A and B are shown apart, each in its own frame.
Chain A
Amino acid sequence: MININITLVAFVIVSIAYMVREVWRPEILRRGAVAIFVAAFLLNTVLVINRWIEAGHAPFSNLYESLVFYAWSVGFAYLILEYLYGMRIVGALAAVLIMLLLLYASTTDESIRPLMPALQSNWLTIHVVTYFIGYGALGISFITAILFLLSWIRSGKNPSETTLGFEKLSYKIVAFGFPFLTLGLVTGAVWANKAWGTYWSWDPKETWSLITWLIYLGYLHLPLVLPRLNIDRAKIPLIQSSCLVLAFLAVIFTYLGLAYLPSATDSEHIYGNK
């Protein structure tokens, strides 16, 4: 029986494998680390599918289920990006992020509850899957942005080619994730219109998902604006990476923080804070 703890341990092993690869570069781990990642990801996949069968509905209905699925999404996005761009050390941090998500999930209430009527829709699956793949990719862009900022601080004012590489990678990852984010936003609006006859009602969750979308939209336009402004060229990647960190904080807030808003009580979306 595959449970969350086994998956958690698997991702601990993955992060160790990536670290070892980065430091000592043994030949066996050159491709082996990714293979271990794939194995751990498969465990996570089984976890999601098991839950889906057990609950009888798409497993995104409470915090536990959504955290496990988000962990899966980060893994999924990472593997695609690894295939497309080759991510090196980023994989270790992606594994750590997944580990943290699973660790958090293991502390939440995992009991299966019936789905409220509004959630019994195929739109739930489409909406959540697109959003979480988007969030998964954006989580990885957060990692690359952090890596950029850290190596920027270490290298002083003369960033190396690797450092700048992280910035370029961040942009590519956002370019991969942003269409999913947009699909998630739009399918959410279409679903709301189908369920309640209103595609937009400025509900806190809707508003915050728009805010995150706007920040990433702004980020994607930055390369068109920053070079024309009267600022130090060398600072441009710094601004862009900072923007990404801010953007992902907005994602986390949209996902987990809304229960703390004064306007949260009227919202349809917010997970109970048990």
Chain B
Amino acid sequence: MLSKKNVVQSEEGLLWSFFTSVKLAVALIFLIAIACGLGTFIVQDKTPEEYKARFGDSLASFLQLTQFTQVFHSYWFTLLLVLLATNLVCCTIDRWRGTLLQLGFILTHISIILILTGSIIGLWFGEKGVLWIAEGQKAEQFNLRNGTPRPLPFELHLDSFITEKHPPKYDLLSYVKDQHKEKFLYTELGKPQPIPKSPYVVTIKDYIPDAALLEEAINTSEEAKNPAIFVQLYGSENVAVEGWLVAKDRNWYVDRKRDLKLEYRWVESSEELKKVNVINPSKPTLTVRQKEKNVSQEFQAEVGRSYTWEGYNLKVLDFTLDFTQRTRPLKEQQPNNPGIQVELDGPQGKENRWVFANFPDWDEMHPTKYKELKLLCEIPQDISFVSQQVRILQGPNDQRLLAYIKGDKVVESFPWELEKKYNIGDSGQQIKVTKFYPSFGVKQSVVKRSDELKKPALYVEIDGPRGKITDWVFAEAQQATAYTDGNLFLLYKQMGENIKDWKSKLRIVDGGKTVMEKTIEVNDPLKYKGYAFYQASYDPQNEKLSGLQVARDPGVPLVYGGFFSLCFGIIFIFYIKPLLRRRMSASGMQEGT
């Protein structure tokens, strides 16, 4: 039975005993731990859209309402901390005896209060943000985390910004496709390295620190399998341009500056050789398709020509090799974006439409009158609007003919010989064929350019189910080197971060005078008037741009005081106090707690 006095007391006493209880403390400790766990299992501080995508509508709105999406800034988490602080204060007062043995207890409990108070001061009176500053520039403000600019009470100058790098280190990475397994291999020469749980063995046979891939033209046979000639074009005395023309591959060269096109053709008979006189230059074509009837027709896209088709009148208005340069003469245009302008006339009146060879869908993305008509154009790759042509022909039984064509007429034609210079009409230019390879091929070889580590390459042997292959693996190659079965790949590349340090030479100008200079680096900030500038990052796109963190946190001394008190208190409790106790009990002293 409770007496009346006891009931009255418990009005205040209940609250006091609630806040001085260790039960509350332990409950709060575990609750805070659980809350922290929630704050990591649920992704924090994202946009409402992201939560909807991740959790669905109803769960997302529940999480946002209960602030589980921003646990560490939530009202209930703050409430837990406030309860903990109150509990700590009450416990400390309640159990205060003032004995030496209690030192640890007092220090640790006060430390938490100090840390919490310090963090609140930092939150209310401090500011934190970022500052991007370019070398040679000055800053008078920075941006808070949410993007709002904040003024600095002084000027911050960045005199120089240096990025120090480690020497590059390259790793050989293997990838087995059907296992989705990557493994780093040793780049040691000669040692066979089996790739675990796979049939492959990789051996590195050679290493070049600075390798280059050389491509060399070779003749593989005397049979005319892939005929090619090496041609030199002379301006006056000197070779102006030279290169290979391969009959069955890239067999033409257009020189807009010299108003000249070179062409090399391999003919199979003497009949064909005579056709040199026939001028059949490649022409652009226009294809029109009626979508509903599913019929289409190809037309010559010659400017000025008109056609009547399926009840429409088509007229080619303009042709350009480069839409943005269409006002210039055709022979000065580069074939960047060729197109044809067509006028369509039909039941709904006239319409002008551009058709682009490289963007066949362009007309469908723009409003048109005649949606049922799809227009396409094709511009031959070797289209040229030069006035002079040199056509070099060659065939079996060593038949050779060189024709000079000007305008649309063959001016002259004669048999040509190797190593002989011929005038190109009266243009003042000359041409010479210096080599003829009946079977043109390209031989690749890897050579060492220097001993410096610049572009390393490894000569690798791969043994697997389809036998041994060897190949060069270049560092930072666009494509991985594959084994014959297309299941094993090797990649030789620079892995991870190779930044050693960033250094920003900062200068503070306050009231027109330089008051402080310091070269900051990561882990070594500059501090002035309560502001601290930390080297945080750099812009990979612009190596002259330094990324700084700016912080002004007046709560830090209190927090650090708390840290110190916490560490010392805990060391006292667990290491010093037991020793003291032992000594005290040895000397027969009584203790209080």
Residues of A within 8 A of B (CB): 109, 111, 113-114, 116-118, 120-121, 123, 175-176, 178-179, 182-183, 186, 189-191, 193-200, 202, 204, 207-208, 210-211, 214-215, 217-218, 221-222, 224-225, 228-229, 258, 261-263, 274
B26 touches A222 (CB 8 A): yes
Determine the chain B residues whose CB is within 8 A of the CB of A116 once the complex forms. 497, 499
Q: Is B500 an interface residue (CB 8 A)?
A: yes
User: Which of A120, A176, A229, A263 has the most B CB atoms < 10 Å from its CB?
Assistant: A263
Q: Which one of A179, A186, A207 lies within 8 Å of B563 (CB-CB)? A: A186
Alpha-carbon distance A175/B440, docked complex (angstroms)? 82
Chain A: minimal CB distance from B549 (Å): 5
B40 touches A218 (CB 8 A): no
B39 touches A117 (CB 8 A): no
A263-B44 CB under 8 A given contacts A179-B574, A186-B563, A274-B182: yes
Q: Is B495 an interface residue (CB 8 A)?
A: yes
Determine the chain B residues whose CB is within 8 A of the CB of A211 once the complex forms. 33, 36-37
For chain B residues 555-573, which have a beta carbon within 8 Å of chain A?
A: 556, 559-560, 563, 566-567, 570-571
- The chain A residue sitting closest to B522, CB to CB, is A117
Q: Which one of A121, A198, A199, A218 lies within 8 Å of B29 (CB-CB)? A: A218
- The chain A residue sitting closest to B538, CB to CB, is A117
27 contacts between A and B (CB under 8 A): A111-B171, A111-B184, A113-B497, A114-B166, A114-B169, A117-B502, A117-B535, A118-B522, A121-B523, A178-B574, A182-B566, A183-B567, A189-B563, A194-B523, A194-B525, A197-B534, A198-B128, A202-B39, A202-B44, A210-B36, A215-B33, A228-B23, A258-B40, A261-B40, A261-B41, A262-B43, A274-B182
B551 touches A190 (CB 8 A): no
Alpha-carbon distance A274/B171, docked complex (angstroms)? 14
Alpha-carbon distance A123/B72, docked complex (angstroms)? 26
Chain B: minimal CB distance from A160 (Å): 26
Alpha-carbon distance A193/B497, docked complex (angstroms)? 23
Determine the chain A residues whose CB is within 8 A of the CB of B37 once the complex forms. 207-208, 211
A214 touches B40 (CB 8 A): no
B523 touches A207 (CB 8 A): no
Determine the chain A residues whose CB is within 8 A of the CB of B44 once the complex forms. 202, 263
Chain B: minimal CB distance from A264 (Å): 9
Determine the chain B residues whose CB is within 8 A of the CB of A118 once the complex forms. 522-523
Alpha-carbon distance A11/B549, docked complex (angstroms)? 47
Q: Mark B80-95, 1 if CB is under 8 A from A, else 0.
A: 0000000000000000
Alpha-carbon distance A197/B497, docked complex (angstroms)? 22
- The chain B residue sitting closest to A117, CB to CB, is B522
Chain A: minimal CB distance from B483 (Å): 22
Q: Is B269 an interface residue (CB 8 A)?
A: no
Q: Which one of A186, A217, A263, A274 lies within 8 Å of B567 (CB-CB)? A: A186
Determine the chain B residues whose CB is within 8 A of the CB of A222 once the complex forms. 26
A197 touches B40 (CB 8 A): no
Determine the chain A residues whose CB is within 8 A of the CB of B60 once the complex forms. none
Q: Mark B16-58, 1 if CB is under 8 A from A, else 0.
A: 0000001101100110110011011111100000000000000
Alpha-carbon distance A211/B32, docked complex (angstroms)? 8
Q: Is B367 an interface residue (CB 8 A)?
A: no
Chain B: minimal CB distance from A116 (Å): 5
Chain A: minimal CB distance from B34 (Å): 8
- The chain B residue sitting closest to A208, CB to CB, is B40
Determine the chain A residues whose CB is within 8 A of the CB of B378 once the complex forms. none
B29 touches A217 (CB 8 A): yes
Chain B: minimal CB distance from A115 (Å): 8
Determine the chain A residues whose CB is within 8 A of the CB of B570 once the complex forms. 178-179, 182
A202-B501 CB under 8 A given contacts A118-B522, A221-B22: no
- The chain A residue sitting closest to B39, CB to CB, is A207
Q: How many A-B residue pairs lie within 8 Å, measured between CB atoms?
A: 128
Q: Mark B531-546, 1 if CB is under 8 A from A, else 0.
A: 0101110000000000
A113 touches B495 (CB 8 A): yes
Q: Is B496 an interface residue (CB 8 A)?
A: yes
- The chain B residue sitting closest to A247, CB to CB, is B33
Alpha-carbon distance A274/B173, docked complex (angstroms)? 12
Q: Is B251 an interface residue (CB 8 A)?
A: no
Q: Is B193 an interface residue (CB 8 A)?
A: no
Determine the chain B residues whose CB is within 8 A of the CB of A194 once the complex forms. 523-525
Determine the chain A residues whose CB is within 8 A of the CB of B499 once the complex forms. 116-117
Chain A: minimal CB distance from B294 (Å): 51
Alpha-carbon distance A258/B40, docked complex (angstroms)? 9
A214 touches B36 (CB 8 A): yes
Determine the chain A residues whose CB is within 8 A of the CB of B171 once the complex forms. 111
Alpha-carbon distance A224/B43, docked complex (angstroms)? 36
Determine the chain B residues whose CB is within 8 A of the CB of A190 once the complex forms. 560, 563
Determine the chain A residues whose CB is within 8 A of the CB of B500 once the complex forms. 114, 117, 120
Shortest 7 CB-CB distances between A and B: which pairs?
A: A197-B551, A117-B522, A214-B33, A114-B166, A121-B523, A218-B29, A186-B563
- The chain B residue sitting closest to A243, CB to CB, is B30
A114 touches B497 (CB 8 A): yes
- The chain B residue sitting closest to A182, CB to CB, is B570
Alpha-carbon distance A214/B556, docked complex (angstroms)? 22
Alpha-carbon distance A218/B560, docked complex (angstroms)? 23
- The chain A residue sitting closest to B574, CB to CB, is A175
For chain B residues 498-514, which have a beta carbon within 8 Å of chain A?
A: 498-502
A195 touches B574 (CB 8 A): no
Chain A: minimal CB distance from B360 (Å): 40
Chain B: minimal CB distance from A108 (Å): 11
Alpha-carbon distance A21/B200, docked complex (angstroms)? 46
Alpha-carbon distance A218/B26, docked complex (angstroms)? 6
Chain B: minimal CB distance from A17 (Å): 31
Alpha-carbon distance A258/B36, docked complex (angstroms)? 14
User: Which of A175, A217, A224 has the most B CB atoms < 10 Å from its CB?
Assistant: A217
Determine the chain B residues whose CB is within 8 A of the CB of A109 once the complex forms. 184
B559 touches A195 (CB 8 A): no
Determine the chain B residues whose CB is within 8 A of the CB of A221 once the complex forms. 22, 25-26, 29
Determine the chain A residues whose CB is within 8 A of the CB of B498 once the complex forms. 114
Alpha-carbon distance A229/B23, docked complex (angstroms)? 9
Q: Is B484 an interface residue (CB 8 A)?
A: no
Determine the chain A residues whose CB is within 8 A of the CB of B566 once the complex forms. 182, 186
Alpha-carbon distance A198/B567, docked complex (angstroms)? 20
Alpha-carbon distance A178/B497, docked complex (angstroms)? 35
Question: A111-B184, A179-B574, A221-B25 provided; 16 other pairs, C-beta below 8 A?
Answer: A109-B184, A114-B169, A114-B496, A189-B563, A195-B534, A198-B551, A199-B556, A202-B39, A202-B44, A208-B36, A208-B37, A211-B37, A222-B26, A258-B40, A261-B41, A262-B42
